[in-house]
Amino acid sequence: MIPAATVNIEVDQQAIARIIEEQISKQVHQQLLLMDINKIAELTSMSVRYLEDEILSDPRVRMYERKKQRKRWWLAQPTLKAIEEIVSSW
């Protein structure tokens, strides 16, 4: 007769939640091509005024800006990477 075996599985709920959040974030960011200032404000949790004063005037972000008449957009992926670089240097 085979002896009974016991298997215990421990799940780290916080790690699972973090992994799921990262994967969702990747999917959302991959689908963005352009962002306007309101979308950047939403993604970064920064105010539009703060973005204008501190982030969007930086040459690393300005190079990804596109304009048509009075409307401005930024290329999503490179702009987010530039913002991350700026914030990391604080």
Measure the CA–CA gap between 54 and 50, rounded to whole angstroms: 6
Q: For the purposes of burial, counting CB atoms within 10 Å of the CB of 79, is it exposed (0-12), middle (13-18) or buried (19 or more)?
A: buried
pLDDT band at residue 6 using 50, 70 and 90 as cut-offs: confident
On whether the CB atoms of residues 74 and 35 are closer than 8 A, the answer is yes
Give the per-residue pLDDT at 31. Answer: 74
Q: What is the pLDDT of residues 18-76, one digit of tens each?
A: 999 888 877 766 677 889 999 999 888 999 999 999 999 999 999 999 999 989 999 98
